[in-house]
Chains A and B, each alone.
Chain A
Amino acid sequence: MQVFNTFFKIAKKQLPVTLMYIGIFVGLCIMMGNTARTDKDYYNFKACDLVVIDRDNSEMSAMLMKYLAGIHEVDTESDYRDEQIQDYLYYQKIDYVLYIEQDYAKTGTLTNVKRPDSKVGEYIDNQILVYESNMRALTHAGYSLEEAYALTLMASSADGLVTLMDKEDTWPPIYNALSFAPYVLIMVMFYVLAPVLAAFNHKEISKRLNVSPITSRSKNVQIVFGQIIMSIFIWIVFLAFIYLYYGIENVDGKLPFILLNSMAMIIIAASMAGIAGNLRLKGDILNIIANIIGLAMCFLGGVFVQVKFMGSTMLQVARFMPTYWYIRANEKIFSGDNTNEILLCIGVELLFALVFFMVSTVVSKQMRAASKS
Chain B
Amino acid sequence: MAETVVKIENLVKRYKETLALDHFNMEIKEGEVFGLLGPNGSGKTTTMNCILSLLTYDKGTVEVFGKKMTPDNLEAKKNIGVVMQNVAVYDELTVYENIDYFCGLYIRDKELRKKYVGEALDFVELNEFKKFYPKKLSGGLLRRLNIACGIAHKPKLIFFDEPTVAVDPQSRNKILEGILELNKNGATIIYTSHYMEEVEQICTRIAIMDKGKNIALGTKDELKKMIKNTETISIESINVSEEDKKNLGALEHVYEVNSDGEKLIIKCNGGKHNLIRVLNYINEKNIPCGRVYSELPTLNDVFLEITGKELRDKEA
Which A residues are closer than 8 A to B by beta carbons? 2-3, 6, 9-10, 13, 195, 199, 202-205, 207-216, 371-373
Contacts and interface: CB of A to CB of B under 8 A. Distances in A.
Interface in B92-119: 92-93, 97, 101-102, 104-106
B52 interface: yes
Contacts of A213: 74-75, 77-78, 105-106
Contacts of B82: 207-208, 211
Given A204-B86, A216-B71, A209 B105 contact: yes
A204 B102 contact: no
A285 to B, nearest CB: 15
A373 B56 contact: yes
B137 interface: no
Interface string B13-46: 0010000000000000000000000000000000
Given A9-B97, A212-B77, A215-B72, A205 B89 contact: yes
Contacts of A195: 92
Contacts of A203: 86
B88 A208 contact: yes
Nearest to B94: A9
B287 interface: no
B106 A212 contact: yes
B308 to A, nearest CB: 32
Given A199-B90, A207-B82, A211-B82, 17 more contacts: A9-B92, A9-B93, A10-B93, A13-B92, A199-B92, A202-B90, A204-B84, A207-B54, A207-B88, A208-B149, A212-B105, A213-B74, A213-B105, A214-B74, A215-B72, A371-B54, A373-B55
A174 B206 CA distance: 72
- Name the prevailing secondary structure of the B interface residues: loop
Contact of B71 (A2, A3, A207, A210): A210
A211 B106 CA distance: 11
A204 B71 contact: no
Interface in B168-204: none
Interface residues of B, number: 31
Given A10-B90, A199-B90, A213-B74, A207 B84 contact: yes
B142 interface: no
B292 to A, nearest CB: 48
B91 interface: yes
Contacts of B74: 213-215
A197 B32 CA distance: 38
Contacts of B92: 9-10, 13, 195, 199
B80 interface: yes
B167 to A, nearest CB: 17
Contact of A202 (B56, B71, B88): B88
B105 A214 contact: yes
A297 B15 CA distance: 41
Contacts of B71: 210, 216
A17 to B, nearest CB: 12
A208 B86 CA distance: 11
Nearest to B82: A211
A203 B88 CA distance: 8
Given A212-B105, A215-B72, A6 B54 contact: no
29 contacts: A2-B101, A2-B105, A3-B105, A6-B90, A9-B92, A9-B97, A10-B90, A10-B92, A195-B92, A199-B92, A207-B84, A208-B82, A208-B84, A208-B88, A208-B102, A208-B149, A210-B52, A210-B53, A210-B54, A211-B53, A211-B54, A213-B74, A213-B75, A215-B72, A216-B71, A371-B54, A372-B54, A373-B15, A373-B56
Contacts of A373: 15, 55-56
Contacts of B105: 2-3, 209, 212-214
Nearest to B75: A213
Interface in B58-94: 71-72, 74-75, 77-78, 80, 82, 84, 86-93
B58 to A, nearest CB: 11
A210 B84 CA distance: 12
Nearest to B101: A6
B88 A204 contact: yes
A204 B87 contact: yes
B197 to A, nearest CB: 26
Nearest to B97: A9
B78 A6 contact: no
Contacts of A212: 77, 102, 105-106
- What 4 pairs across the A-B complex have the smallest Cβ distances? A204-B88, A212-B105, A2-B104, A213-B74
A199 B91 contact: yes
A13 B71 CA distance: 32
